[in-house]
């Protein structure tokens, strides 16, 4: 399979490995958006969140606090963002991964959020709940 992260797992492509167990690998993101920017991936090839099974999810997410604490202790950031991109507009590597991005004063990292607080009425929120809950009922 032509997947850059599978190649990293197999050792066909070099990487700066931080942590590895039977199911998971953590390594430095090559772009180092901020100091210590890390990716955590399952060894099982899964395209993104929509394809994650429960066991793989547990395997990957249970490593997140361990690496987060290590980054905090290593670099004393003021904060840390956990990001995961699925399909458009931002996913560029189609092997599920979680970004851990330590944050520092004036680090220039932009993760803009949009705030529509106060723009929607209760009926709109209720309609969202109804639509999503119907899908949760039928979701795997």
What are the residue numbers of the active site? 97
| Residue from the set 57, 72, 85, 104 that interacts with ligand AMP by CB under 6 A | 85
Do residues 25 and 19 touch, judged by C-beta distance below 8 A?
yes
Q: Which does 31 bind (CB under 5 to 8 A by kind): Zn ion, ligand AMP, none?
A: ligand AMP
| Residue from the set 1, 30, 111, 139 that interacts with ligand AMP by CB under 6 A | 30
Q: Is residue 93 involved in binding ligand AMP (CB under 6 A)?
A: yes
Q: Which does 45 bind (CB under 5 to 8 A by kind): ligand AMP, Zn ion, none?
A: Zn ion
Which residues are bridge partners to 40 per DSSP?
Answer: 26, 98
| Cis bond upstream, residue 89 (ω within 30) | yes
Q: Is residue 91 involved in binding ligand AMP (CB under 6 A)?
A: yes
User: How many whole angstroms separate alpha carbon 104 and alpha carbon 111?
Assistant: 13
Q: Which does 3 bind (CB under 5 to 8 A by kind): ligand AMP, Zn ion, none?
A: Zn ion
């Amino acid at each position: 399979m032509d997947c850059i992260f599978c190649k990293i797992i197999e050792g066909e492509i070099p990487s700066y490995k931080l942590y590895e167990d039977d199911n998971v690998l953590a390594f430095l993101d090559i772009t180092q958006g901020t100091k210590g920017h890390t990716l955590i991936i399952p060894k099982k090839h899964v395209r993104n969140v929509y394809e994650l099974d429960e066991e793989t999810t547990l395997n990957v997410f249970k490593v997140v606090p361990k690496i987060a604490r290590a980054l905090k202790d290593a670099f004393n950031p003021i904060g840390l963002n956990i990001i995961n991109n699925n399909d458009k507009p931002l996913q560029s590597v189609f092997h599920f991964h979680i970004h851990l991005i330590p944050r520092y004063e004036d680090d220039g990292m932009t993760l803009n959020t949009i705030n529509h607080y106060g723009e929607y009425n209760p009926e709109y929120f209720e309609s969202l709940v109804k639509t999503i809950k119907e899908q949760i009922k039928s979701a795997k």
